[in-house]
Structure 1
Amino acid sequence: MRSIPTRFYVFLFIISCSQIYSQTVSSIIKDAETQQPIPYATVQLSNKKGVITNEEGRFTLQLDQQFKEADSLFISCMGYVGLGKPLNQFTENVILLTPKTIELNPVIVSNKQFTAEELIEAVKNNLDKNYSQNITKKRLFFRESYHQHLSKTDYTFKESTIEALNERFLDSVLHTIPKETSHYTEVLGDFYGDYNKDNQKLTLIKASELYDKQNELDLTALEEKFNDILKKNIKPDSYFKIKSGLFGTKMDADEILASAADSTDVDALKKEMEAKQKREENRKKYFASHKKRALGNIMGKLFFLEDSNLNFINKNRRYKYNIVDFTYMGDQPVYLVDFEPKRSEDYKGRLYINADDFAIVRVNYSNVKSLKTFKLLGVSMDQFLAQGTMLFAKGMNNQYKLQYLEEELGTKVRIKRPLKIIELNKHVKGRNKQNELSLKIDMATMGTSKHQIIIFDTESISSAQLEAVTENNDLLPTYMPDFDPEFWKGHTIIEPNKAIREFTSAE
């Protein structure tokens, strides 16, 4: 494992004006009493730019050419005393925030004491006032993290009439498949539009992919080996029947062998190169489109949208609510309200509701049951995890805008059933079965994905401005086999967590 230098995490201040552009402020924010990291704290430089701490309390803030020594750094988090002072007075690599003593505002005390249900009704009645669904331009950073764990890879070998397709070969197949895989994609760009997916555009500024290419190379080599075995053992006019349980699928031998083109065949090689070029063109074309679609899907989950599956406000009759506490976010009084389903809804969580304007400024939610399950003929699927956090900040027009969104999803899949691959040939007299591979497989995998979006700036734009935007579809992500702390230098992003910082490909 390649470790990251300690200096990467320490506050760094370079006073020389000629080096201002490259300056960064990096630190960890912790609770002064418990010494625990504080996630989702807001770090802002003299109301010019800001960032959110990650789940480990870490942040890095880029200082641009407009930075002045007199500029102050302001740090705030719900339930803590805010902290603000000039940058040069921050001399430690850990910043401590003190928990805030709750003193109820006399106005709040003298107001009508809301029940939880009345408070939620007030939230619902003020959705249109507090949250805009107009067309905007958002400068954002989007990180996708995916992890897969192959928990079971068992099989029972029954029969194979192709000598090369034996237990030893199948063992090598299982050995080649990685038990743990991770893939990280990061994108910085401008996201345009409203919450209608047909009315959205994305222009990319920079992107990266962090994963182990060796996993791909191993599987490619395995595929080539498998194709070579088939090419030597089957007839050109054969076809295969793949049987698993009650169903069977036919596949021509030519289809299976198509990817095993003879490199000495000039025409085949030319076609292969053309296909490779086409794939590269599609990759350029669809990378940005895929990210735009992913962002649109995630944005469509915001609770104030009528068709969101997070329906604990729009369908509030289906939930139970309980006021559990009262705190402050800066100087704003905030109710803490827990919710859970009365009957068959999917989520429970906590709402942080501004007591002055009844806006939800933060949501934490998690599923109370599997969102979807499937089981048929030895194949089962369980969407067992769906949890997230949303943070909102008040803009210049007194409406709230999304500042940070995080969601984590998890799915388990298991396949336990017989599998047969049978070669058939209609020109062979008598029984036309030529070769057969028969086994019973028992495999299980668990995949979890995490999406993080931090929005730095939001500005309203017109339909004409949206129409005039030309999407940048040519930018490809830079591949990184190991984490590179220099890649995002000059850009403010949400800090990577320990798993990303320590990621390195296998030698």
Structure 2
Amino acid sequence: MKGIFTQKALFKSLFFLVFFQSGIAQNITGKITDSKTGEIIPYANIQVNSSESIISNAEGYFTLAEKNSSDETLLIISYLGYVPLQISVADLKKVQNNIKLTQGIVELDDVDISNEKPDAAKIMAKVKENLNKNYKNTQAKKDLIFVRHSSSFNPKKFDFEIDKSTVLSAKALKKTNDELNTFTKLLIAHPPQQFTDYLCNYYTIDTKKEDKPTVLSKLEVLKATILKNENRSASLDDLEKKFTDIILHNLDTTKYYRVKSGLFGSHDTISLGNKKKGKEKKKQLNSSKAYLDNYIRRNNIIDAKRLNFINKPEMYDYSYEGATYSSENKFVYVISFKPRKSKAKYSGKIYVSEDDYAVLRTDYTLEEGEKEASFNMKLLLGVKFSVNQSKGTLIYKENPIGEGYCMQYASLETGQYFYFNRPIKFIELAKGEKDVVKFDLKIEGSSKDKNEFMNIKREETSKATIENFKEEDFKFINIKKYDPTIWKNYSAIEPLQEMKQFKEVN
């Protein structure tokens, strides 16, 4: 019997090993580097079997979905200024999944159309003139999109104490303050971090509502995950819930309250009772669609305020840096820019197609000392806030279902500083309003957000299809650590090391 058991155990072990190795073999992760320098090439385009497009991440890596990992799969890798490379997955394996791109024959500094350098300001004027022609896509479309949002909250000072409570006994008040103290110490010791991924079909068409132009959008989420530490708060919503649980659980849920901070009071009524179920309908869907609608609008090259270095060129100084060729063998101007007027805040580079003056790519960053937004009433109100970090990359590709271009990839990283030092009261709405809970909140620190958007595939659809599509809510899959297999059946952005190394802290 012992021998039989050993054979069975051996068979199972071998079966598991073979199966596991087979599964791993189907997960193909590649790295893209410069053939001469060995430097990584971030945000390179990888066309998969001429049907989907993905982008290498900021560290130069990309991963193929399991369905695209067979040896016969054909990849075309391209990047501005480099010779496009066509390679099969079988050949990719032979080079240990390391793709080396060769710089094009044309060097940036050596290319001039004539003896005189092109006028960068005139080129940008042409870009503005052709924005609607190049980027206004009015047709009904279905985009397969992958979105990643990461956020971190880093308080360096966090004091939160209840000074007065008419509903808590002295013992309960001490216990609640101890809980608050433990909670704030945990936040400082282990700053919260969260990664949200989702893959979706995003249906849009330009239309009119009450004779005003608008965009009709529908969202179908195919898969969504949240990676965060459940023992720590990671977002403002989480913080709000945590504070509510700690402070307000002793208040009467049948009564109503308003909030007052210093001289300022809220006219909004707060109830601690259970919300009606009807209001929760499609909660995740609605918030995710609002986020995606807003993100696309904020990256609209035609009129986004943050992109005024493209749509309001009179605000910037431009310099011609040279030229290169695109993967489609288009001649491309390389133009640098920096602020000229006070409302101009960014510097960076723009890559412009010579034949139609379309922006193919731009990399931009907030100028040192500039702020995208700020509010400073620290002395008077005890409040200060500023968006003091901001940088992004936008990449466009030719619209596969019509004329012009569409956004293929967008990355936006922002950093905020905050300071809040104010007393806050919860006041019961009853005869002769009375203070119920009064506490002091002092918090100072920073937060960071990174948003990434990748358009994998665009297909033509119809207005009727979009109007008749029935949206359904979805649930996020909560994960405690990075799992490389969770997206193996889908095209996605390869995570950075920061996300791969994330682990739960108790």
TM-score (norm 1): 0.78
Letter in 2 for 1:342: R
Q: Deviations over 1:79-116 (max 9, x none)?
A: 33332233222221433333344358999634975201
Q: What is the correspondence of 1:192-207 to structure 2 with a 5 Å cutoff?
A: 192-194=203-205, 198-207=215-224
SS in 2 for 1:492: coil
Task: Within 5 Å, give how 1:48-447 maps onto structure 2.
Answer: 48-62=51-65, 64=67, 69-90=71-92, 91=94, 92-103=96-107, 109-110=113-114, 113-135=117-139, 136-154=141-159, 163-164=170-171, 169-177=176-184, 178-179=187-188, 180-194=191-205, 198-215=215-232, 223-224=244-245, 226-227=247-248, 244-247=261-264, 275=275, 278=276, 282-283=279-280, 285-306=282-303, 308-330=305-327, 331-343=329-341, 344-368=343-367, 369-376=370-377, 377-396=381-400, 397=402, 399-419=404-424, 441-447=441-447
Structure 1 residue 480 displacement after superposition: 1.4
Q: Secondary structure at the match of 2:77?
A: strand
What SS does the corresponding residue of 2:219 show, helix, strand or coil? Answer: strand
Change (3 A) 1:209 1:112: same
Shift in alpha-carbon separation, 1:290–1:424, aligned structure 2, 3 A = closer
**Residues 399/107 of structure 1: CA separation in 2 closer, same or farther (3 Å cut):** farther
Q: Bigger CA drift: 31-40 or 336-345? A: 31-40
Is 1:476 the counterpart of 2:475? The answer is yes
Is contact 1:284–1:475 with CA below 8 Å preserved after alignment?
Answer: no
Q: Conserved in 2, the CA contact under 8 Å of 1:21 and 1:63?
A: no
Q: TM-score, normalised by structure 2?
A: 0.78
CA distance in 2, matches of 1:71, 1:155: 57
Shift of 1:163: 2.1
Q: Per the alignment, in what secondary structure is the counterpart of residue 194 of structure 2?
A: strand
SS of residue paired to 2:302: coil
Q: Distance in 1 between matches of 2:102 and 2:50?
A: 22
Q: CA deviation at 1:147?
A: 1.1
Unaligned runs of 5+ in 2: 1-18, 207-212
Q: State the one-letter code of the partner of 2:131.
A: L
Q: Deviations over 1:22-66 (max 9, x none)?
A: 93421222233443322101122342333100111110112538x
Q: CA deviation at 1:176?
A: 0.9
Does the residue aligned with 1:312 lie in a helix, a strand or coil?
Answer: helix
Gaps of 5+ in 1: 1-15, 260-271
Distance in 2 separating the partners of 1:218 and 1:313 = 38
- How many angstroms apart in 2 are the aligned matches of 1:237 and 1:457? 51
Q: Distance in 2 between matches of 1:461 and 1:80?
A: 34
Kept in 1: contact 2:135–2:302 (CA 8 A)? no
- Cα offsets for 1:454-506 (capped at 9, x unmatched): 101123333333323222x2321212122222211211111111122122223
What is the RMSD of the two structures over their aligned residues, measured on CA atoms? 3.9
Matching residue's letter, 1:323: Y
CA distance in 2 between partners of 1:356 and 1:111 (Å): 19
What SS class does the counterpart of residue 143 from structure 1 fall into?
strand
Alpha carbons 1:303, 1:311 under 8 Å: kept: no
Structure 1 residues 101 and 198: CA distance shift in structure 2, 3 A: closer
Q: 1:314 to 1:73 in 2, by over 3 A?
A: closer
Shift of the 167–443 alpha-carbon distance from structure 1 to 2, 3 Å rule, reads farther
Q: Distance in 1 between matches of 2:239 and 2:110?
A: 67
Query: Aligned partners of 1:470 and 1:229: how far apart in 2?
Result: 42
2:375 maps to amino acid: F
Which residue in 2 is equivalent to 1:492? 491
Match of 1:4 in 2: none
1:310 aligns to what SS in structure 2? helix
> Which amino acid in the other structure matches residue 114 of structure 1?
P
CA contact (8 A) 1:364 1:388 kept: yes
Separation in 2, partners of 1:176, 1:201: 40
Question: In terms of mean alpha carbon deviation, does 462-471 or 377-386 score higher?
Answer: 462-471
CA shift in 2, pair 1:346/1:194, >3 Å:
farther
> More deviation in 289-298 or 212-221?
212-221
Shift of 1:403: 0.9
Q: Determine if contact 1:43/1:76 at 8 Å carries over to the other structure.
A: yes
**Does the CA-based 8 Å contact 1:240-1:250 persist in structure 2?**
no
Q: 1:483 to 1:110 in 2, by over 3 A?
A: same
User: CA 1:382–1:175 in 2, change beyond 3 Å: closer, same or farther?
Assistant: same
Structure 2 distance, partners of 1:147, 1:317, is: 36
**What is the one-letter code of the residue matched to 1:190?**
N
1:323 is paired with a residue whose SS is strand
1:290 Cα deviation (Å)? 1.6
Check the 8 A contact 2:334/2:352 in 1, yes or no. Answer: yes
Deviates more, 1:239-248 or 1:182-191: 239-248
Distance 1:219 1:474, change over 3 A: closer
Match of 2:6 in 1: none
